[in-house]
Amino acid sequence: MRRRIDQLQSPTAALLLGLGLALASVIAYSAYIAAQMRSLRALQTEMVDRNRRDSLQLLRIQNDLNSLALAMRDMLDSHEPYPLTAWVAQFRRIRSDLEAALHLEQQLAAGRRSPEQQVYLARSLAQFWDAADRIFSLARAGKENEARDQIRLSLQARQAALTTAVARLLVENNEVEQQAVARIGAIYDRVERRVYLFLAATLLALLLTSVYLIWSNRRLFARLAMLSQQRSDLARKLIATQESTLRYISRELHDDFGQVLTAIGSILARAERQTLSSNSQLLESIREAREVAQATLDKVRDLSQALHPVVLDETGLESVLDGYIPTVERQSGIAISYEKQGAAFPVESPVAIQVYRILQEALNNVSRHSGSARAWVRLCYRPAELQLEVEDRGAGFDPEGARKGLGLVAMRERAALLGGRIDFLRPAEGGTLVRLRVPVEGTGHDKTKNLDFAS
């Protein structure tokens, strides 16, 4: 049986492998999600946010260029009473803001815009300010008309070219932002698909693991049930062999040895009657031999009764207990109170011998281990069960240690073979209470079950 138990394959290895694969999948997927989140963060920081700030600077530049266009329109208005030099301060202020905006815009666009575009914008703006400086120089020299002609021919054209270039850059920024938004959406879609795939794979792995676990447990429990049944069958056979052997020895002692001792006693009785009274010494020896033979016969009968009470097969359980309990009381010196309750019903011999053996073991424990001077035996006939209780007020025992005692194990096995239950309890008053409960169908009273332990 131990070899069969060792052959039971535990699903632990497969479950650990599945757990390792699940953990590896979770770690790998977490790393993938972390990488995708870093990519999204970089895309949003490096492209979208930076592109928006760059667009704000381009809008700032465009706004300054529009302010220059409005100023040049006012400078060309013939109805303006102010000379051209009156716009020098306004141009200087716009120039300062434009240069600051252009500097920030070049920093934000670095690495994303071609060098030619940056050089063109900076050069065009520098040429614009060179032209503006020449116009204001002409105006300060009193050449207002020539300065206005230069505004119409050169300065407005350069401003328009700058405005067009800035507008083109804004369009490019919008396109880049749209592309970034599309890329972010693609990343989100890809991550979402991976999430669904991962969840599906995880659920599938859990389903397969659960199915395997259920299958393994059912297989394991089926084998354990088979081994338990084999153990029960083996215990039944061992107990049956034991009872058969004890019955055989009991009959041999009762029939053969008992008859021999009875015959010896009869011979000695005849020899005693035939011996002359004058030979008192021989007569005394014969009388002593006959007494020894009678004492030996009584011991053989007691031993035969203890091994297997013959009256159990003839008169039943209750009669055996009526004779056995006073014998134990006389031999052990323990005062035993014997109570019977309920309406008695017949108990088949194979069942009765098991109840008798359990009572024997319980009273032996009281005599050997409890140290109690009193004990109580109760035999209760209930509508649904037969109940036997043995109680003492002794030292009691450790329930954990009780699981290891051979006698107590045998008591449990016998109770299990009867389909009943045995409990080892500690009463509130102290000591030990052994309670055996056998269902009615286990006693053979309903004739639905036949336990032939002695076959």
Domain count, the chain: 2
Domain match, 49 and 158 both: yes
| Distance between CA atoms of residues 166 and 100, nearest Å | 15
> 3-state DSSP call for residue 155?
helix
Token pair for residue 314? 């003839």
* Residue 289 domain flag: no
Residue 253 has pLDDT above 90, yes or no: no
Residue numbers of the domain that contains 408: 310-443
Residue 433 has pLDDT above 70, yes or no: yes
Residue 3 has pLDDT above 60, yes or no: no
Mean pLDDT of 149-164: 88
Domain match, 331 and 200 both: no
Mean pLDDT of 122-151: 88
* Residue 263 domain flag: no
Instruction: Please provide the DSSP assignment of 219-277 as one string.
Output: HHHHHHHHHHHHHHHHHHHHHHHHHHHHHHHHHHIIIIIHHHHHHHHHHHHHHHHHS-T
* Residue 283 domain flag: no
* Residue 222 domain flag: no
Handedness of CA 176, 179, 181, 183 (dihedral sign): negative
Choose one of 214, 238, 271: the last residue of a domain: 214
* Residue 265 domain flag: no
pLDDT confidence band for 442 (50 / 70 / 90): low
pLDDT confidence band for 446 (50 / 70 / 90): low
pTM of the model: 0.49
Q: What angle do CA 14, 18, 21 make, to 5 degrees?
A: 140
Choose one of 148, 183, 214: the last residue of a domain: 214
Choose one of 176, 194, 214: the last residue of a domain: 214
Task: Give the CATH number, domain containing residue 88.
Answer: 1.20.1330
* Residue 352 domain flag: yes
Mean pLDDT of 41-48: 68
